[in-house]
Chain A
Amino acid sequence: MKAPDFDYLRAESLDQALDLLAQHGDEARLLAGGQSLMATLNLRLSAPSVLIDLNHVTDLAGITETETGVRIGAMTRHVAVERSPIVARHLPLIAAAMPHVAHAAIRNRGTLGGSLALADPAAEMPACALALQAVLEIAGPTGRRQVAAADFFRGLFETAIGPDEVLVAVDYPKAPPGARWGFQELARRHGDYAMVGLAAMIEGDPICDAARLAYFAVEDRPVLAHSATSKLAGRAVDDAAIAAAEDALDADLDPHGDLHADAATKRHLARVLTRRVLGNLGTV
């Protein structure tokens, strides 16, 4: 189908985008890469009367290395993240996850901030943000604020971003020495939304000091499995520890069945992924 009628407004700066949002309120949607928004418009699942295009707000894009982390502007396209040597070096989890984000043509256009702000429960970048303890920077009429990834994802397509606010950038802390990571997802076709996915960070080698296992495509938002990670802390990530983590997953995950897999299947696949990912960790 074709998109419904709307007005198109191009923001040339963040301030202008905020002004336009204030002016048009709930009637407006922000247009980042558009790779999900345009699909929902064409399917008539949403019908905003105004689109505010952020693609010309150039200072929202870019990847910079700081002393303690990596800052990625919200309008940075997936392809730029995928090819970034800074990301490859300091955020190998993101580098490993990026090829799973849709397809090449979509990564050429889609943005990191768009993916996080949409908060699709089956998307890769929200889970990686949780596993990496990213901090999201949001600009609004009264200034900027920082929200931890753990507080950012609120539900199905729901985030901490207010209706008058814009996601500006994401700060990822650099992994500490000895950190290990893993990423895998199961999808019927490469690039499709996952049936179940896992983004994992393990601090400490060989003894795990802290772990974060972020599962996606399981519930209405990405989930940190706290019980499972408690089985890893303070010990080596060996077969026994992995088995204990798998068993603990039942307490962590309350899968929602969907068209691709029912709840029991997702629960099973989460265990399979846990074993595969933890049994094959990469080092930072």
Chain B
Amino acid sequence: MASPVDISLTINGEPVEERVPARLSLVDFLRARMDLTGSHVGCEHGVCGACTVRLDGAIVRGCLTLAVQADGAVVETIEGVSDTGEIADLQEAFIRHAALQCGFCTPAMLLTAAELIANRPNADREEIRAFISGNYCRCTGYRAIVDAVEDVLASRREGAGT
């Protein structure tokens, strides 16, 4: 049995100290140890994107990052990002456009869309599609998701007075 590793990190603003097996993925750690089950486990090899979380401010695959690699880092999950209100308008737009059915992909889709909105305020539909291409949705056919993201981009641009 390989040696466990002590890690300390910040999750959704709270300091956390835990001892974890080296092989434990970040998303399994968040779900099983921290009870943060909004991050989902889909394919477990980086294809579906359902496990997306933020690590030091950037979205990553929770299944392709080890919990031990989050030592010293700031981790944000859909729970934290929802609580701060940062993506309230995006969540509202997803509801308005029916950009989800089963909801399995939604937390990750929201975090991915949030990164796009933050970094590319002028993204067009093609760029939106390219940016969310790493997140599978098996219900919507993506159109409603793209509509929702496009809406938020437009309203935030308006809000910024540009």
Contacts and interface: CB of A to CB of B under 8 A. Distances in A.
B49 A105 contact: yes
A41 B116 CA distance: 30
A103 B45 CA distance: 13
A39 interface: yes
A102 interface: yes
Given A7-B3, A79-B58, A106 B64 contact: yes
A42 B44 contact: yes
A109 B26 CA distance: 13
A73 B5 CA distance: 28
B1 A5 contact: yes
Contacts of B10: none
Contact of B134 (A8, A49, A103): A103
Interface of B is mostly: mixed
24 contacts: A1-B44, A2-B25, A3-B25, A5-B2, A6-B23, A7-B3, A34-B65, A34-B69, A38-B63, A39-B64, A51-B22, A53-B69, A99-B130, A102-B46, A103-B49, A104-B115, A105-B49, A105-B59, A105-B61, A109-B55, A109-B58, A109-B60, A190-B129, A190-B133
Interface in B43-97: 44-46, 49, 52, 55, 58-61, 63-66, 68-69
B112 interface: yes
A5 B23 contact: yes
Name the interface size band of chain A: 20 to 34
Which 4 interchain pairs have the tightest Cβ spacing?
Answer: A103-B134, A8-B22, A39-B45, A190-B133
Given A104-B115, A190-B129, A109 B61 contact: yes
B130 A190 contact: yes
Given A7-B2, A79-B58, 20 more contacts: A2-B25, A2-B28, A5-B1, A6-B2, A7-B3, A34-B65, A35-B46, A38-B46, A42-B25, A42-B45, A43-B45, A99-B130, A104-B115, A105-B52, A105-B59, A106-B46, A106-B61, A106-B134, A109-B55, A190-B130
Interface of A: 1-8, 34-35, 38-39, 41-43, 49, 51, 53, 55, 79, 99, 102-106, 108-109, 189-191
A3 B131 CA distance: 28
Interface of B: 1-3, 5, 21-23, 25, 28, 44-46, 49, 52, 55, 58-61, 63-66, 68-69, 112, 115-116, 129-131, 133-135
A79 B115 CA distance: 13
Contact of A191 (B3, B45, B61, B133): B133
B136 to A, nearest CB: 9
Nearest to B133: A190
A185 to B, nearest CB: 13
Contacts of B68: 8, 53
A227 to B, nearest CB: 34
B7 to A, nearest CB: 10
A2 B23 contact: yes
A153 B67 CA distance: 32
A7 B64 contact: no
A38 B66 contact: yes
A8 B60 contact: no
Given A2-B44, A190-B133, A191-B134, A104 B59 contact: yes
Contacts of B52: 105
Contact of A38 (B58, B65, B135): B65
A51 B22 CA distance: 9
A35 B60 CA distance: 10
Contacts of A53: 68-69
Contacts of A38: 25, 46, 63-66
Most buried by A among B3, B58, B64, B129: B64
